[in-house]
A and B are shown apart, each in its own frame.
Chain A
Amino acid sequence: MQGPLINEAAVAKVEELVSDAITKGGKIVTGGKRHALGQTFYEPTVISGATQDMRISQEEVFGPVAPIFKFDKEEEAVAYANDTIFGLACFVYTQNLGRAWRMMEALKYGLVGVNEGVIATPEAPFGGLKQSGLGKEGGHQGIDDYLDVKYVALGGLGL
């Protein structure tokens, strides 16, 4: 089930990035336009043949659009994934333990989902690296940002 986007500006941004992807050789497999319901509803969209020169590889679409890029080697996937100023969440699907571990270490992101797509929870620190942010919310780290650390030296105790 999918609801509407928040407003017209959000739909305009989605349309802009989809149109850019098509111009650069992306193929709409499903969706690709406003939904027949009107308002700010947009069709769930899948684009194949996505490439790194498309704006959507660098800009957050913030809408129901899934561009799918192809890669051959593990190193290539890491390089593409890290080729961004952002570093909030990333997801990796593999059944190979060694590969899973190598990806966890290689990806410059604050949140890593391995074989899981929705991972935020109060018990764990949520927060981005690079230009995705500063500080953590949740986890035992989540309260640190609200505390001052004060060092006190006590003398004259007659010790």
Chain B
Amino acid sequence: MLKKNSRFQRDHNFIAGAWCLADSGQTIDVFNPATGALIGTVPNSGRAETERAIAAAATAFEAWRKTTALERGNMLLKLHDLVLENQEELALLLTTEQGKPLTEARGEVASSAAYLRWFAEEGRRVYGDLIPSPIATRRLMVMKEPVGVVAAITPWNFPSSMIPRKLGPALAAGCTIIIKPSEFTPYSGIAWGVLCQEAGIPAGVVNVLTGDAAEIGKALCDSPVVRKISFTGSTRVGKILLKQSADTVKKVSMELGGNAPFIVFDDADIDAAIAGGMAAKFRNAGQTCVCTNRFYVQAGIYDRFVEKLAAASAAMKVGAGR
């Protein structure tokens, strides 16, 4: 097993502000895809741990929703600063468990911080409405309120930045959250527990647990307390979560699969198209939901485009990310 060299590499769930193992003591092995080496083990949690996380988030919601948008924004900015201060360490952890080149991992961590900053700012601009009343004796208005406890299920291809895309708006709005990172890349998810703790975010506002994806997902969907589920992953799993969420009529956000076309016309700047195409295709070894899946090239430049894309692809270095 690799020597643990980061305070962010925790082997525990983070529930109600406490670090804990699975009730059963069972664990999941996590491997470095570049070497096949075992990095460590994380809790193999299930329904019971999930229900405790939901209860913790529900309790924390009562106080969290009463904080001001400015207070919440300031906490998110503190989290933003912590992420950037630890960019290198977080990027190393990310590359170790996910495989992407360190340059891309640094970029992903920077993007994590950028999402926090954006939502720290947006939270202060959640306006309601006053509606001109058609009845003279009445006044009509619209209020915006946090939905409540939110569940986030996040993927292995962007194990860091898919979390603040959900945690950022959730916390800014006044919601509390339960995060279930992918079992393939759990450490970058668990790291958010460490970061939130260090940023002084109150216990129970952010909970992270790892384990059996199907069982945790089902427990989150079954709970009437969880008012929203946000998922990034495959269309297949998204459909399962949508069906499971129907019984409790949850709000749902689904970022699912793609099949991106990349269309190049005869009149295009072909070198710009090659540069854009290389980034759109091979970033993260082609493992992103916005990655080009199909190049459509007009007949007049087809042969030249094939030749240039092949040359650029063949010239690309392949290797361990760090």
Which residue of the partner chain, among A6, A146, A152, A159, contacts B98 with CB atoms under 8 Å?
A6
- Report which of B145, B278, B282 forms a contact with A147, defined as CB distance below 8 A: B145
Which chain B residues numbered 213 to 263 have a C-beta less than 8 Å away from chain A? 228, 230, 235, 238, 251-263
CB distance from A32 to the nearest CB of B (A): 11
17 more A-B residue pairs beyond the given contacts A2-B318, A118-B283, A140-B125, with a C-beta to C-beta distance below 8 A: A5-B285, A6-B156, A40-B99, A44-B282, A44-B318, A64-B281, A67-B295, A68-B295, A88-B256, A99-B267, A103-B263, A113-B280, A134-B252, A135-B255, A142-B118, A149-B144, A151-B142
Q: Flag whether B70 is at the interface (Cβ < 8 A).
A: no
**8 Å CB contacts to A: which residues of B270-291?**
272-273, 275-287, 289-291
Q: What are the residues of chain B within 8 A of A121 when measuring CB–CB?
A: 114
Q: A70-B299, A143-B122 are in contact. Are A57 and B313 (CB under 8 A)?
A: no
- Flag whether B194 is at the interface (Cβ < 8 A): no
B316 to chain A minimum Cβ distance, whole angstroms, is 5
A91 to B23, CA, bound (A): 48
**8 Å CB contact of B255 from A10, A116, A117, A137:** A137
Q: A37–B141 Cα gap in the complex (Å)?
A: 63
- The distance in angstroms between the C-alpha atoms of A41 and B65, with both chains bound, is 47
Residues A117 and B146 in contact, CB atoms below 8 Å apart: no
Total residues of chain B contacting the partner, CB 8 A:
106
A138 touches B115 (CB 8 A): yes
A1, chain B: closest CB distance, angstroms: 4
Report A75 CB to chain B, min CB distance, Å: 12
A23 contacts the other chain (CB 8 A): no
Interfacial chain A residues near B275, Cβ < 8 Å: 117
B264 within 8 A of A: yes
Cβ-based interface call for B28 (8 A): no
A29 to B313, CA, bound (A): 10
Interface string of A1-42 (1 = CB under 8 A from B): 111111100100000000000000000011100010101111
B240 to chain A, nearest CB (A): 13
Question: Which of B166, B252, B292, B296 meets A77, CB within 8 Å?
Answer: B296
- Interface positions of A (Cβ within 8 A of B): 1-7, 10, 29-31, 35, 37, 39-46, 48, 50, 56-72, 74, 77, 80-81, 84-96, 99, 103, 107, 109, 111, 113, 115-123, 126-128, 131-138, 140, 142-143, 145-155, 157, 159
If the complex has contacts A68-B297, A89-B290, A132-B258, are A39 and B33 also in contact, measured as CB distance less than 8 A? yes
Contact of B119 with A133 in the complex, beta carbons under 8 Å: no
Chain B 122-155: CB-based contact to A (< 8 A → 1; otherwise 0): 1101100000000011111111111100100000
Q: A45-B313, A93-B265 are in contact. Are A159 and B136 (CB under 8 A)?
A: yes
With A66-B292, A132-B235 known as contacts, the answer to whether A150 contacts B143 (CB < 8 A) is yes
| Residues in chain A near residue B296, CB distance under 8 A | 69-71, 77, 80-81
Residues of A within 8 A of B268 (CB): 93-95, 115
C-alpha gap A37/B35 in the complex (Å):
10
Closest B residue, CB atoms, query A86 = B259
State A70–B125 Cα separation when bound (angstroms).
47
Task: Tell me if B302 and A68 are in contact (CB < 8 A).
Answer: yes
Bound Cα distance A157, B137 (Å): 7
Chain A residue with Cβ nearest B238:
A133
A133 to chain B, nearest CB (A): 4
Q: Which of B2-10, B48-56, B167-175 contacts A (4 or more CB under 8 A)?
A: B167-175
In the complex, are the beta carbons of B265 and A94 less than 8 A apart? Answer: yes
Given the contacts A71-B297, A113-B280, A143 and B35 also touching, CB distance less than 8 Å: no
Determine whether the beta carbon of A69 is less than 8 Å from that of B297. Answer: yes
Contact A132–B298 (Cβ < 8 Å):
no
